[in-house]
């Protein structure tokens, strides 16, 4: 087979250097495996070549199979000789030289080499489970032989990226070489081992598998341990089954099991949804009306105004990613309380073992409390996170404008106030945008960037990049009431309350949503957030609008002193010091009384009705948002639901999930509920158009925000 353009072969003083060059991440796209095979053959055929080095050009070794190729019609028949078989059967040693990422098929390729060297910043892993599949190029058979089945199970079912130093401790990497000198060091390593025989071929070593033979219950115990997080999914169990096969069967039979499971899994609904989520997340980073090479503004130093729960969480988000951040509040006491809360949050992580005491001190040292705005002036960016009241915001924004240096980025963490109101308090509305964090701000990954009427393109582009720098997933929203995430979630909350009035209990609704895949049900989420916030909003709305219907049961719950977990009771009751929700007869009584007073007829609901009432309401709203040009893509809405609200990733996202039901069916149901329940279910014109054309919801998009 001729050497492909994607893979080069050069003889460097007796060492055959095989370079994979398939930007951006050297995925194993068609041509790459064939190129590697041809290069290995060439090295083996040339007497002048003593050993080989396999290396990646650009920023990475090999990030895995080309995910875009999956699910595209019938699988192309595998090549007669797979590159990893050719590799581990090579009579001359091959050294994998790893920088950037060796993931999935990339690590599997490296495991089929005889040796692996890596630079300290490299990461390795088998993340296939995160896209709903299992390693399908021998990873489930080779990794357990190298590191033992226990470690392999953990790595393969979590899919985590393992840093080079840990990979070396585990025995995956043979030698760590200096950063920036990978090729030279790998060539030197190859020279050193060129004449060493026998070659270390992983498939020939079963010693590490003994660990499972002496502990036959290991696999069932592992299945039990992942049952909660893996519910409704098949891929994690397929991973376990394949590793179990590695222990119980000879290598080639184990490979056959892996292959069968891979073929079963790759076209599953779960894999399609997870692949979609992978690309949706990346698509959300692209701003179609901006040049890709737009000059970003500096974001090295940050400031936060407001040391409440949100402000503190935002400051922690920066400190967690190595940024220095200043924080201020209106009074010294509020600032001190805020700093104490930050410390207490970090201490909880230390107690849980997810953070070292030393790291906590380093992070705390990055957060500097300051008592006046002038001390913030030099920062590259400021995020305002003060009380959600327009007069308070206006006053703060005047001070921000007066204090910040020219060119500084001025962001607001408002969750519901029009960004333009803040921008108009400044003399530089073009520097202002929304950066909406989700509670708890240091944990939740969604970073909703809100474009105000005058936000400059470079401000938006910098905000999007900033989110990624602090470990978040950015997504762009237009300036509409509630922006995109909360606005699309709003009707879900309305329906939750109405369902309770109509006869479903909070615990039934929560169970439906947890069974669907949410980590916790929506009523428990309300109890965690505190019921008083929603109550205050409803009271304000009532005062502004006499037709506002509100949520009478939720109001009664709050008026009975049940504010959620913080008062030990809300929609549920809680035992002191325990967050387990217990259904409470008093809640059932409040519901019954309120419903009787309002003369609402109650009836039983099926689980399916509950699910559809909640989610279809939001699908319809998301369509309205898209139709108004307030979101760029339906897939952006999905990204927001995945990272802002805990929507189960293996269902793709709100709009992807709706497509699995079918756009026509969704439309017909919404139209029927429009007849039955009235205006709030009026179908969005976009939804109607899509239903007429049969085009998928998830592909709805607009070119620029309006």
What is the binding site for ligand 3H9 (CB under 6 A)? 24-25, 27, 63-68, 101, 103-105, 108, 127-128, 131, 135-137, 139, 282
Q: Output the six-digit token pair for 503.
A: 């006869």
The residue among 674, 671, 685, 678 whose CA lies nearest residue 547 is 678
CB of 104 to ligand 3H9, least distance (A): 2
How do the residues of the chain divide into helix, strand and coil, expressed in percent and rounded to 5? 50, 10, 35
Whose Cβ is closer to ligand 3H9: residue 184's or residue 699's? 699
CB of 262 to ligand 3H9, least distance (A): 7
Q: Which of 5, 128, 358, 608 is flagged as catalytic? A: 128
Residues 6+ apart with CB under 8 A from 321: 469, 470, 471
Q: Output the six-digit token pair for 246.
A: 């590695």
Spatial separation of the C-alpha atoms in residues 609 and 672, rounded to whole Å: 13
Q: Is 108 helix (H, G, I), strand (E, B) or coil?
A: helix
Whose Cβ is closer to ligand 3H9: residue 245's or residue 410's? 245
Whose Cβ is closer to ligand 3H9: residue 65's or residue 553's? 65
CB of 690 to ligand 3H9, least distance (A): 25
CB 308 within 8 A of CB 338: yes
CB of 264 to ligand 3H9, least distance (A): 13
- C-alpha angle with apex 580: 574 to 584, nearest 5 degrees? 45
Q: Active-site residue 575, yes or no? A: no
Whose Cβ is closer to ligand 3H9: residue 142's or residue 487's? 142
Beta bridge partners of 144: none
CB 706 within 8 A of CB 479: no
At residue 260, φ and ψ (nearest 5 deg) are -60, -45
Whose Cβ is closer to ligand 3H9: residue 335's or residue 473's? 473
Q: How many CB atoms lie within 10 A of CB 458?
A: 17
Spatial separation of the C-alpha atoms in residues 237 and 548, rounded to whole Å: 49
At residue 116, φ and ψ (nearest 5 deg) are -135, 125
Q: Is 52 helix (H, G, I), strand (E, B) or coil?
A: strand
Chain residue whose CB lies nearest ligand 3H9: 104
Number of residues written out for the chain: 706
Whose Cβ is closer to ligand 3H9: residue 57's or residue 199's? 57
At residue 557, φ and ψ (nearest 5 deg) are -60, -45
CB of 299 to ligand 3H9, least distance (A): 17
Whose Cβ is closer to ligand 3H9: residue 199's or residue 296's? 296
CB of 179 to ligand 3H9, least distance (A): 17
Whose Cβ is closer to ligand 3H9: residue 262's or residue 535's? 262
Q: Which of 10, 108, 384, 699 is flagged as catalytic? A: 108
What sign for the dihedral angle of Cα 166, 442, 526, 634?
A: negative
CB of 277 to ligand 3H9, least distance (A): 12
Beta bridge partners of 53: 17, 95
Burial status of residue 580 (CB atoms within 10 A of its CB: 0-12, 13-18, 19 or more) = exposed
Q: Active-site residue 108, yes or no? A: yes
The residues annotated as belonging to the active site are 108, 128
């Amino acid at each position: 087979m001729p050497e492909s353009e994607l893979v080069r072969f050069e003889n460097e003083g007796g060492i055959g250097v095989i370079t994979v060059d398939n930007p951006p991440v050297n995925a194993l796209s068609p041509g790459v495996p064939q190129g590697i095979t041809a290069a290995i053959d060439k090295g083996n055929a040339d007497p002048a070549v003593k050993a080989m080095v396999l290396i990646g050009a650009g920023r990475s070794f090999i990030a895995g199979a080309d995910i875009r190729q999956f699910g595209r019609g019938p699988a192309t028949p595998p090549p007669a000789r797979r590159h990893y078989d050719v590799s581990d059967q090579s009579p001359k040693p091959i050294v994998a030289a790893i920088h950037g990422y060796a993931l999935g098929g990339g690590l599997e390729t490296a495991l089929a080499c005889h040796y692996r060297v890596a630079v300290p910043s490299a990461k390795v892993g088998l993340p296939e489970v995160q896209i709903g599949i299992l390693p399908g190029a021998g990873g489930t058979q080779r990794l357990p032989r190298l590191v033992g089945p226990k470690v392999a199970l953990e790595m393969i079912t979590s899919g985590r990226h393992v840093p080079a130093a840990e990979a070396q401790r585990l025995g995956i990497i043979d030698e760590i070489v200096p950063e920036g000198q990978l090729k030279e060091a790998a060539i030197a390593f190859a020279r050193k081992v060129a004449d060493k025989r026998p070659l270390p071929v992983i498939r020939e070593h079963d010693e590490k598998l003994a660990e499972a033979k002496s502990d036959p219950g290991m696999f069932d115990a592992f299945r039990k341990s992942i049952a909660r997080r893996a519910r409704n999914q098949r891929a994690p169990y397929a991973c376990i089954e394949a590793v179990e096969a590695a222990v119980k069967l000879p290598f080639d039979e184990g490979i056959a099991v892996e292959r069968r499971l891979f073929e079963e899994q790759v076209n599953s609904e779960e894999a399609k949804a997870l692949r979609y989520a992978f690309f949706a997340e990346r698509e959300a980073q692209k701003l179609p009306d901006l040049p890709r090479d737009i000059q970003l503004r500096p974001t090295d130093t940050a400031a936060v105004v407001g040391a409440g729960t949100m402000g503190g969480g935002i400051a922690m988000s920066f400190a967690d990613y190595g940024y220095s951040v200043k924080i201020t509040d209106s009074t010294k006491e509020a600032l001190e309380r805020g700093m104490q809360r930050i410390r207490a949050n970090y201490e909880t992580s230390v107690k849980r073992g997810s953070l070292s005491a030393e790291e906590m001190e380093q992070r705390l040292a990055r957060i500097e409390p300051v008592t006046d705005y002038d001390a913030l002036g030099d920062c590259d960016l400021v995020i305002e996170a003060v009380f959600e009241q327009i007069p308070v915001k206006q006053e703060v924004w005047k001070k921000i404008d007066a204090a910040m240096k020219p060119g500084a980025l001025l962001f607001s963490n408002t969750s519901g106030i029009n960004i333009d109101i803040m921008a108009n308090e400044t003399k530089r509305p073009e520097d202002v945008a929304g950066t909406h964090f989700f509670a708890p701000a240091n944990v939740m990954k969604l970073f909703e960037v809100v474009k105000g009427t005058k936000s400059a393109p470079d401000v938006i582009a910098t905000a999007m990049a900033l989110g990624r720098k602090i470990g978040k997933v950015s997504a762009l929203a237009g300036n509409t009431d509630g922006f995109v995430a909360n606005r699309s979630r709003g009707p879900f909350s309305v329906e939750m309350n109405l369902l309770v009035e109509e006869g479903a209990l909070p615990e039934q609704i929560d169970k439906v949503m947890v069974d669907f895949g949410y980590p916790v049900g929506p009523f428990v989420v309300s109890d965690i957030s505190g019921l008083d916030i929603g109550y205050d909003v409803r009271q304000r709305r009532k005062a502004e609008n006499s037709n506002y219907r509100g949520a009478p049961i939720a109001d009664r719950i709050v008026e009975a002193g049940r504010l959620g977990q913080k008062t030990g009771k809300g929609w549920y009751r809680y035992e002191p010091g325990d967050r387990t929700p217990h259904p409470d007869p008093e809640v059932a009584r409040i519901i019954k009384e309120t419903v009787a007073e309002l003369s609402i007829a109650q009836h039983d609901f099926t689980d399916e009705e509950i699910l559809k009432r909640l989610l279809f309401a939001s699908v319809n709203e998301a369509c309205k948002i898209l139709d108004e040009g307030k979101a760029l893509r339906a897939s952006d809405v999905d990204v927001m639901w995945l990272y802002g609200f805990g929507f189960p990733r293996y269902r793709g996202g709100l709009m992807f999930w709706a497509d699995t039901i079918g756009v026509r069916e969704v439309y017909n149901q919404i139209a029927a509920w429009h007849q039955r329940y009235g205006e709030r279910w009026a179908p969005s014109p976009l939804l109607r158009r899509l239903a007429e054309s049969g085009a998928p919801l998830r592909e709805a998009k607009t070119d620029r925000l309006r």
